[in-house]
Structure formats: structure tokens, C-alpha cells
Amino acid sequence: MRDTDELILQKIPVWSRFISQAMVQGRLRYDAKDIPVSVGGVVVHPGDVVVADGDGVIVVPRKMAYEVAKYARRELNNDKIQRRKLYEAMGWELDDTVK
């Protein structure tokens, strides 16, 4: 990954283990698209859902995406409820993460 300042300004969500100044424009050759790829030992198939944040990356197979999304939403809501209780008990101002 490179041009990190521009990525931040443009709010483009990119996750990378390394930053490089190398330019490879014109030196890449694309052989195929819509094929499975292996990233970090995990096979990602076309249509799979890839979600990443500061804590890590998860790949959800397309056929499981709906069920995983339902579960994730439920967990997020439960987490907000518990954190809101903590904020209130500590006398902290409520923010968007607990509303």
C-alpha cells in the first residue's frame, strides 16, 4: 500500500500489513478475475464478504453472509446496551457508540 495520506483524506477503507513507496504501474499483469484467491492462508471466493477494521479481518462465505449479518447485528446491539450501562454507571457522557 502507498499514498496513505491520500487514502486517509479520501476516506478510502484500505487495510494493509505494510506500507511501501514502490510504484508498479505498468508492471502488473492481470491473468484472471472472479477466481478464488488465497490471502494469509484463507481462501476468498468471488462473492464472499470481507470485513476489516482496526482489530482484524474476517471473510464470510457468501452462502453464510445473511446469517452472520443477523448474528453480528444482534451482538452489536447487545454490546451497545452493556456499554451504555457502563457509561451511565461511570457518569460518562453518552456518545454515538452507545446510542
Range of the domain at 9: 4-98
The pLDDT, as a whole number, for residue 11 is: 82
Please state, in angstroms and rounded to a whole number, the distance separating the CA atoms of residues 14 and 98: 26
The pLDDT, as a whole number, for residue 66 is: 97
The pLDDT, as a whole number, for residue 8 is: 82
Eight-state DSSP code of residue 52: E
Please state, in angstroms and rounded to a whole number, the distance separating the CA atoms of residues 77 and 42: 29
Burial environment of residue 81 by CB neighbours within 10 A (0 to 12, 13 to 18, 19 or more): exposed
Q: What is the pTM of this model?
A: 0.64
Q: Which residues are annotated as a binding site for Mg(2+)?
A: 3
Contact 54, 66 (CB under 8 A): no
The pLDDT, as a whole number, for residue 36 is: 97
**Number of domains the chain is built from:** 1
Question: Which residues in the chain come in under a pLDDT of 50?
Answer: none
Q: How are beta strands 56-60 and 49-53 bridged, if at all? A: antiparallel
The pLDDT, as a whole number, for residue 1 is: 66
Q: Which residues are annotated as a binding site?
A: 2-3
Please state, in angstroms and rounded to a whole number, the distance separating the CA atoms of residues 53 and 56: 6
Q: Which residues are annotated as a binding site for substrate?
A: 2
Show the CA angle centred on residue 56, arms to residues 86 and 22, nearest 5°: 140
